[in-house]
């Protein structure tokens, strides 16, 4: 059975819902150790000072912020405690906003909110009311000594707490070499691209997408563990589309798509109700 990583309350107005927080994602990354290529021994992390060149024990390690190149302000544990935000064990919803007003790039990590017995009725009320509309709750919560911005939204039978980035954490587009809005495509290219997108339209089924890299890497590891050899595959990058032939490439792509996909497979369908309500 899953274990709660945090417990507290969800508050909006004068309503208080006792809840527990459960992880909603489980990364499936493969973890590797660094080994000595000669004898296979595991390598340990060594802390070496770049001035004296000596190994440094943990008791001699302090934390410093580099405010200028090569210049640091050293902070002690007492300094960090002095600015610690108060852990109120509560998720305080300060406002409800339209989902469409939130830049999707702000969303980060989702967690399940599970009600305690006393809060089940209020929990269901909040979930069902949010599911009927297009608003999400914007809240502040302290987790592991850090304050987070978060969204409270419905997802199936659950309420989700989705941690968000603060605005100043997003990197702007300034300085990126992007095509300007004035670089317009021809009417024919727009028509062909629109038809191709419509032909490739489908209802999103996230379960149909697999982490093929992880699966193949796991198969390679298992084969190596059995003493088997695995032939290497070489992937050739596709050449960039020639701008001169873009309309022709689009029309050819459309023809191939229509030939390879039956009409029912790419006909746009309405998303399930719980997905429409969740974002």
Kindly list the structural domains of the chain, giving each domain's residue range(s) and its CATH number in brackets, ordered by start: 6-25+84-168 (2.40.290.10), 187-232+243-270 (no CATH)
* DSSP state at residue 268: -
Asked if the model's pLDDT at residue 89 lies above 60, the reply is yes
Closest C-alpha to 152, from 17, 27, 272, 271 = 17
What confidence tier does 164 reach under pLDDT thresholds 50, 70, 90? very high
Range of lowest pLDDT (169-183, 195-209, 217-231): 217-231
Asked if the model's pLDDT at residue 274 lies above 60, the reply is no
Q: For the chain, what is the mean pLDDT?
A: 83
Tens of pLDDT, residues 235-263: 666 665 655 667 788 888 888 888 887 65
Closest C-alpha to 151, from 170, 135, 171 = 135
Q: Rounded to whole angstroms, how far apart are CA atoms 147 and 85?
A: 7
Query: 224 is written with which tokens?
Result: 């190596």
Closest C-alpha to 93, from 144, 159, 157, 155 = 159
Mean pLDDT on 270-276 = 42
Query: 248 is written with which tokens?
Result: 């022709």
DSSP 68-99: ETTEEEEE-HHHHHHTPPP--SEEEEEEEEEG
Q: What is the pLDDT of residue 266?
A: 46
Q: Rounded to whole angstroms, how far apart are CA atoms 266 and 258?
A: 9
Helix, strand, coil percentages in the chain from 3-state DSSP, rounded to 5: 35, 25, 40
Asked if the model's pLDDT at residue 84 lies above 90, the reply is no
Tens of pLDDT, residues 52-72: 989 898 889 988 988 888 888
Mean pLDDT on 265-274 = 45
H runs (alpha helix) in the chain: 77-82, 120-132, 187-199, 212-225, 246-260, 263-266, 273-278
Asked if the model's pLDDT at residue 87 lies above 80, the reply is no
Q: Rounded to whole angstroms, how far apart are CA atoms 223 and 225?
A: 5
| HSE of 1, CA atoms in CB hemisphere, 13 A | 1
Asked if the model's pLDDT at residue 124 lies above 60, the reply is yes
Cβ–Cβ under 8 Å, residues 112 and 21: yes
Cβ–Cβ under 8 Å, residues 161 and 150: yes
Report the chain's C-alpha Rg in angstroms.
26
Q: Rounded to whole angstroms, how far apart are CA atoms 187 and 180?
A: 17
Q: What is the pLDDT of residue 220?
A: 80
């Amino acid at each position: 059975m899953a274990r709660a990583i945090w417990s507290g309350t969800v508050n909006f107005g004068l309503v208080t819902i006792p809840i527990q927080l459960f992880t909603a994602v489980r990364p499936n990354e493969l973890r590797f150790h660094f080994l000595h290529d000669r004898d296979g021994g595991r390598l340990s992390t060594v802390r070496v000072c770049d001035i004296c060149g000596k190994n440094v024990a943990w008791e001699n390690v302090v934390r410093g912020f580099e405010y200028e190149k090569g210049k640091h302000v050293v902070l002690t544990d007492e300094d960090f405690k002095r600015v610690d935000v108060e852990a109120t064990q509560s998720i305080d919803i300060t406002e409800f906003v339209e989902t469409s007003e939130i830049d999707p790039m702000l969303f980060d990590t989702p967690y399940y909110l599970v009600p305690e017995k006393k809060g089940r009725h209020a929990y269901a009320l909040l979930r069902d009311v949010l599911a009927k509309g297009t608003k999400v709750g914007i809240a502040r919560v302290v987790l592991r000594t850090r304050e987070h911005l978060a969204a409270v939204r419905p997802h199936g039978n659950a309420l989700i707490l989705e941690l968000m980035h603060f605005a100043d954490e997003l990197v702007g587009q300034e300085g990126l070499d992007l095509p300007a809005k004035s670089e317009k495509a021809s009417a024919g290219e727009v028509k062909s691209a629109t038809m191709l997108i419509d032909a490739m339209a489908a209802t999103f089924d996230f379960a149909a997408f697999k982490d093929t890299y992880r699966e193949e890497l796991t198969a390679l590891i298992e084969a190596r563990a059995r003493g088997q050899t695995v032939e290497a595959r070489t992937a050739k990058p596709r050449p960039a589309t020639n701008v001169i032939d873009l309309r022709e490439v689009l029309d050819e792509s459309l023809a191939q798509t229509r030939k390879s996909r039956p009409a029912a497979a790419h006909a746009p369908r309405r998303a399930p109700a719980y997905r429409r309500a969740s974002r």
